[in-house]
Every structure is written in structure tokens, then in C-alpha cells.
Amino acid sequence: MKSWKNAWDQLAIVSLSVLLILIIYIFPESIFRKAVGLPFILFFPGYSLISFLFPEKRSLDVIERIALSFGLSVAITPLIGLALNYTPFGIRLTPILFSLASFNIVFSLLAVYRRFKARDPFIPRIEVKKAIGWEEMSKLDRILTVILVISIIASIVALIYIIVTPKQGEKFTEFYILGPKGKAADYPTKLRIGQNATIIIGIVNHEYRTVNYTVEIWLVNASYGNNRTVIHHMYFFDMFNVTLNHTPVNIEGNWTPQWEMPYTFSIDKPGRYKMWFLLFKDYAPPLPSKPEKMKDYAGTEAEKRILDAIEGKIQSLNLNVVARGI
């Protein structure tokens, strides 16, 4: 019989796919986004395709259909993402959402068409049969039943906890230097003594808390060889602080800066230097003496700052600069 009631499962997939789109754009922080999103990615694509390919009841039993639905969904979703990677749309939320929704809806409607044409179609039904009474069960059956019920309840509680509790992403700070035009190019690397040069220093806080940053700037003349760094001169150049609130990582739209500052400097001593920019969170370790501009800290404990930066223990950036006489 060609009744839409016999296609309730496919109509549910179509309805939930449309509903998920509305939820994401109207209530993006809703718990239903995750509740509907999981089957939307991990079950609906495979189930709609299996229903289209095998409309007859005799083709597959229920367990096989469910298992294949999960397995095919795991394959279909990455393939759609791979295909989008070679289009102008790219792998972003909106293209993936509408591509998967279109796949689910199209194959669900095609599955309904084939089900109506089938002689003995597969129609999912929930059948309730009288269970064996508790008193009639053996002791072993009672124990197994209790264990099964506890396992099901624990699984449901765990799933609800995962859905309700938002997973905290990786904690990190973006630290970057741009040229005077706001691009990663045209850095001032060759200067005359006393000549002003400008760069842009930027910081973005993704630490999930408010952070007080300290930026130290050093002019370092060093030699490298035999897996050893020898610091000849280490001039303290500048230092400043900035406090930033947490900014969520934006993977859906264009990247936007949180804090940027044009920094103008000049060098009064000729030589070849690496200008080091050291970033400290919350506080910077104390210096051996009060910071003075162009004071040479080579041979002091302050050298550890640069050595740690070279080894990646301190978040840092550096710029090669040559200062020549007039």
C-alpha cells in the first residue's frame, strides 16, 4: 500500500535534516544542535542510501541495515568533505551542512519512491511482544537483565553528559608580526643608524580565560654552531603589557584580529641582530637588574630567555635586522 505512513523513517530524516539547518542558524548554541547533528552525520546518510539501494524486505535484515547505515555514513561524510575541498566553497560549516542535508533528503525521497514500487518493501516497525515474566526467569537471566538495564541507563547518561557538556578546545595564543602594510611581507630588515621602522605586533587570546600578556623585545647578536648558541650581545630594547579576554576560535568565517599595535623603533648601534619578541603569560620572570634600554645582559641569567626561546620553551618571534652606519 502506497501510504506515507510506511515511509515514516525517510520523512523523519528529511524533517530532521531541515530542522537541523534551522537550529544551527537560529539557535546555534542549542543542545538540540548536537542531539540532531550526531545522527545527521553518523547515521542518516548511510540509512537513506541503504534504503534506496535495498528497498525489498528480503534484501537485508534490520541488524544489517543498521550496521551498514553507520558504516556507510562514516565513509560518505568524509567523501563529501573531500569533494568540497576541491570547490570554491571549501570545507566550512555552511557547505558541509547543505551538502549533507541535500544528500540525505535526495536519497530519502528516492528511497520512498523505490519502496512504493517494491513488491515486499522493508518498512521499519516497532513491535512489542509480551516478555517473559520476572518470576518465570532463571537466576542467571535475572542477573543478565539487570546488567543489561544498568548498561543501557549508563550509556544514555554518558551520551547526555557528552551532549550537554561542551568540550573545551585547545588552549593557545596567536602571536604574530606583520609588515607596516599589515601583511606578512615588507619587513624592515635593513636600516641605517637612527632610522625609524614600523612593524605591527598582534596577539589573539584563545586561552579560555583573561590573560595579562607581557611582551619583551631584545636585540641579540649571537653565533650558532656545533649545536651551541653563543650570545655576544643581548640588549634590552622594550617591554609592554596588554590584558585580553578569551576569544573563541572562528572556523566558519574570515579570521579577524583581536589586538594589534603598530610598533615603531630605531637602532642606535650598528651590527647584525635578531630582534626577539618574547611573549609571557600572566607574568615575566624577573631580570637580574632593573630594565634599561640598550643595556647589555649578555653573560647574565637573562640569556636563558633567548636560549629557551630558541628551544621553543617560550613563545617568541624574531626578525633579522642589519643596522648600518650613515
Q: Whole-angstrom Cα distance, residue 323 to residue 267?
A: 7
- pLDDT number for residue 304: 92
- pLDDT number for residue 163: 57
Binning pLDDT at 50, 70 and 90, where does residue 82 land?
confident
CB distance 234 to 293 below 8 Å: no
Q: Whole-angstrom Cα distance, residue 30 to residue 21?
A: 12
Indicate if the pLDDT at residue 131 is higher than 70: no
How many percent of the chain have pLDDT more than 70? 91
CB distance 33 to 22 below 8 Å: no
The domains of the chain are located at 4-125, 128-167, 172-324
Higher pLDDT, 131 or 237: 237
* Of the candidates 12, 10, 58, the residue with the CA atom closest to the CA atom of residue 36: 12
Binning pLDDT at 50, 70 and 90, where does residue 130 land?
low
Query: Where is average pLDDT lowest: 16-25, 157-166, 240-249?
Result: 157-166
Indicate if the pLDDT at residue 168 is higher than 70: no
CB distance 276 to 234 below 8 Å: no
Indicate if the pLDDT at residue 241 is higher than 70: yes
pTM > 0.85? no
CB distance 236 to 294 below 8 Å: yes
Indicate if the pLDDT at residue 160 is higher than 70: no
Q: Which CATH superfamily is domain 172-324 in?
A: Immunoglobulins (2.60.40.10)
- pLDDT number for residue 65: 85
pLDDT digits (tens, 9 = 90+) for 11-55: 999 999 999 999 888 887 777 887 888 889 888 999 999 999 998
Indicate if the pLDDT at residue 134 is higher than 80: no
Q: Whole-angstrom Cα distance, residue 42 to residue 203?
A: 37
Q: Whole-angstrom Cα distance, residue 61 to residue 43?
A: 17
Q: Whole-angstrom Cα distance, residue 116 to residue 123?
A: 10
Range among 9-13, 137-141, 276-280, 299-303 rated most confident: 276-280
* Of the candidates 254, 267, 277, 274, the residue with the CA atom closest to the CA atom of residue 201: 277
Cell numbers at 42, concatenated: 553518523
Give CA angle at 19 (14, 21), nearest 5°. Answer: 105
